[in-house]
Structure 1
Amino acid sequence: MTDITLPCIPLKQHGRSFFLLNMPAELVARISYAAIRGKDNEQGAVQRVLNSRRISKIKDFALSGGNFPNSIVMNWVEEGGLTYDALSNTISFAPKPQLAQLIDGQHRVAGLAEAMEAAEELKALDLPVAIYSNLTTQECADIFLAINTEQKPVHRSLVFDLYAIADEQMIDPAAARARDIALELSEGGAPYHGMIKFPGEAPRKGGVALSTVVTSIKPLIEKNGAFDQVALSTLENQSRVIINFFGALQNIYGELWFERQNAFMFAAGFSGALEFLSSRLLPYCVTKKSFRTEIIVDALSMTAEDLILQKEVSGKSGSEAQSYIFSRLDEVFDKGDVADEYDF
C-alpha cells in the first residue's frame, strides 16, 4: 500500500512528544479506532462505549455545515508504522485500519463517518489531529482526563448569551427564545429590571443568573411543552404570561419586591415560581381564559404575612429551596370553585 505523507508540526509538552497535522476526515475514520476500557484488553484502552444518540447528533451537525476546530487526539499503536522526516517536517505511513487509538474525539469520528455516507464531500473535510505514539494506558488516561475534566466548558450563561449572535445551526431554538424572554424580563419597568445577571457583569449578591432564567423558562416554551399544550406558541404570548405572573407577585410585594430579603430575587425563588406557574397557575388561567395580572393576583391570595422571604430558604440546598418556594405558593393559591364531581 502506497505511503501517505503529510506536513506536521512536532511538539513536546511535559516530556511527551506529539505531532499536529491536518488530515482529511475520510483518512481519520479509516486509520483510527476506539479502545474501550473494561472491554478491550490492550494498552491505551480508556474510552467509553459509543453513544448512538450523540453520534446521530454529530452526524446532523456535520451535514448542516458545522465546524470541528478541536483536535482529534490519537495514540499511534502500529509499531514502526509512522515515519517522521525532520528535514521536511512530515510524517509518512501506509493507511490501513486500526493504526491509532482515539484518545479524544471518538464520537466526532463516528458521527462524521456516518455523515460521509450521506455526503461524500465530507470525506475531504480538513480535521486538526494530534498524534502521540505508543502511550501507556496511564498516559492515555492522563491526557483524556486533562481534556475532559481540566478543560471545563464555559458557563451556561455565556452559552445562552452567545445564542444572540451565533449561526442558526448552532442554536437551541427553545433556549434562544428563553433568552429573549429573559431580556424582556430585565427591561426597564419589568419585574426583573436590573436583576438578571448577564455575562460580563460584576459579581453581586442577589439577582438571578441568565443560565437559571433560561433553564427555568425553557421547559415551558419548547415544542410540546406546557405553553405549547395550551396553544401559547408565540413569543409575545409566552413572554406576556411570564411577565404578568411575576408582575402579579411584584404588585403583591410592593416596595419589598426588589429588596434582597425577597426570595424571588434569587435562583431558587425564580425556578420554584416557574414550576408553580407551569403546574398550577397555567391550568387555572386556561379555565379562566385570562392571563391578566389582576386574575393572577386574585388567585394568589397573599397578604403581608404570606410573603416568602429569602431567610426561609437560607441553608437549604437548591432543590430543597425550589420545592419550598413551590409549596409556599401552593399554600396561598386560591383555586376558586372547582367541581369535585365528574361525569365519566
Structure 2
Amino acid sequence: MTQKTHRFSISQVTQGRHKFYTCTIPSDVLAKCCFVSTRDEDPVSGFQRVLDKGRAQEIAKYIDEGLGTIPSAIIMSAQQEADLKIIGKGKTVEFNDSPRAFLILDGQHRVYGFSIAESSLRIPVVIYNDLSRRDESRLFIDINSKQRGVPNELLLDIKNMAEYENDEENLLREVFDLFNSDSESAFFNKFSAASRAKNKITRVTFNGAVKPLLNVFRGKDAEEIYSILNGYFLAFRVGLETLDCEDTMQGAIVFRAISSFFPIAASKLKDRYGSEYSVDNFHSTMEGMFLRTKPAKFKTPGTSYKALADYLENNIKSEFTL
C-alpha cells in the first residue's frame, strides 16, 4: 500500500547554524501528524497526559466560533517517520501522513486545540529537519526559556480596550481606577495598573482580593463600592500607624488579608452604627482589635493571607463580653 503524503509550498530560512522551513499547513493535517514527547508511545494519549485539556478546549472553541486568528507559528522537528523531502527546486516540502511525523517544540496546546476543533484553518509552521535529540532538547529549552509571556497585569489593563471585559471585570476595573486616581484614596499613587512594581498593588492582586467581596456589595455601583472600601482601608491604615507598620498595606499578602477581613469589620460596624460606613465608624469598630494586634504579624505576614485574616478575626471577637 502506497504511503499517503502531503505537499506544501515552503520558504527556507537560515539563522545561525540552523536551517528551517516555513509554510502553512491545514490544522486538521497538523493535528494528525504531530506528537508532544518522544517518551509517549501513543500521540493521542501523549497529548492528554502532558497538556492542559481545558486550555486546549478554549482554543478549539475560539477556532470554531470564528472569533479571530492564531497567527503565531507552531515549531516542529521532522522525525524519521516523516521522510521529509524538499522538492520542486526547493519550493515544496513533502512528508508522510504519519502521527509521529513531527515532534512539537513549541505550540503544543494550540495543536491539541486544533485536534479537537470541528473546523479547520491554515496554520503557520516552522519545520526543522535532521536535528539530533540533543539539538531538539536544546531548542526546546531555548524557545521556552527565552520567550516571555505577556504579564497578567498588562492583559487585565488592556481588556477594556479590547472589549473583552465581562461585567464583573468592568466593575473591578472601575473600582481599581478610583483607588488609583482619587487623591482621597487610601492607596493614592500606590497602585500599578499595567505592570508589577515594588511596594505597589497590581490589578491582579486587587482583583484577587476584591472579587470575593462583590457579593457583599450586590447592587452597588463602582463609586459606592469605592467609597465604603476606602473608608475601611483608611481606618485600617490609621490602626497600622499605631503599630508603626502602615507601609505593609501594599504587600500582596497583607492587602488580601485585610480585604478578606472586611466583611467581619463591616458586619460589626453595622451592628453598632447601622449603614454609616465612615472612616470614624470603621476606626471605632476596629480600635480595640489593634490594641491586641502584634506588629510582627504585618511586618512578617508569611505566605498565607487566610492565616492573617483569621488572626484579625480572632482578635476582634475577643473583645466581646456579656
TM-score for both structures, normalised by structure 2 = 0.76
Q: Give 1:264's aligned residue.
A: 249
SS of 1:211 mapped into structure 2? helix
Instruction: Choose from 180, 183, 206 the match for 1:213.
Output: 206
Change (3 A) 1:40 1:187: same
SS of 1:192 mapped into structure 2? coil
Deviation at 1:36, TM superposition (A): 5.5
Deviation at 1:196, TM superposition (A): 0.7
Deviation at 1:46, TM superposition (A): 11
- List aligned pairs for 1:1-344, cutoff 5 A: 4-35=6-37, 37=39, 39-40=40-41, 49-64=50-65, 65-79=67-81, 81-85=83-87, 87=89, 89-116=91-118, 122-123=119-120, 125-168=121-164, 171=165, 174-188=168-182, 189-199=184-194, 206-218=199-211, 220=212, 226-228=213-215, 230=216, 232=218, 234-236=220-222, 238-250=225-237, 252=238, 261-277=246-262, 280-281=264-265, 284=268, 290=275, 292-293=277-278, 294-301=280-287, 313-314=298-299, 316=300, 319=303, 322=305, 326=309, 329-330=312-313, 333=316
Deviation at 1:135, TM superposition (A): 3.0
The answer to whether the Cα contact below 8 Å between 1:6 and 1:21 also exists between their aligned partners in 2 is yes
Change (3 A) 1:58 1:329: same
CA deviation digits over 1:298-326, x for unaligned, max 9?
Answer: 321259967986x8744x37516x46753
AA at the equivalent of 2:134: Q
Name structure 2 gaps, 5 residues minimum: none
AA at the equivalent of 2:285: A
Name structure 1 gaps, 5 residues minimum: 117-121, 221-225, 340-344
Distance 1:137 1:271 in 2: 46
Change (3 A) 1:46 1:23: closer
SS of 1:199 mapped into structure 2? coil
Change (3 A) 1:186 1:162: same
CA deviation digits over 1:128-178, x for unaligned, max 9?
Answer: 11111243333222222223333122333222212221242xx57655543
AA at the equivalent of 2:309: F
Deviation at 1:273, TM superposition (A): 0.9
CA deviation digits over 1:33-78, x for unaligned, max 9?
Answer: 33353x4399xx9996233222222222323424322221222114
AA at the equivalent of 1:22: T
CA deviation digits over 1:236-286, x for unaligned, max 9?
Answer: 354444333224335x369x69x98532244333222112225x3355467
Change (3 A) 1:77 1:286: farther
AA at the equivalent of 1:333: I
Distance 1:36 1:276 in 2: 50
How large is the Cα RMSD of the aligned pairs? 4.0
Change (3 A) 1:129 1:212: same
Point out the more displaced range, 182-191 or 205-214.
205-214
How many residue pairs match? The answer is 312
The answer to whether the Cα contact below 8 Å between 2:82 and 2:97 also exists between their aligned partners in 1 is no
SS of 2:127 mapped into structure 1? strand
Q: Give 1:119's aligned residue.
A: none
Change (3 A) 1:8 1:297: same
The answer to whether the Cα contact below 8 Å between 1:301 and 1:333 also exists between their aligned partners in 2 is no
Distance 1:136 1:291 in 2: 71
SS of 2:125 mapped into structure 1? strand
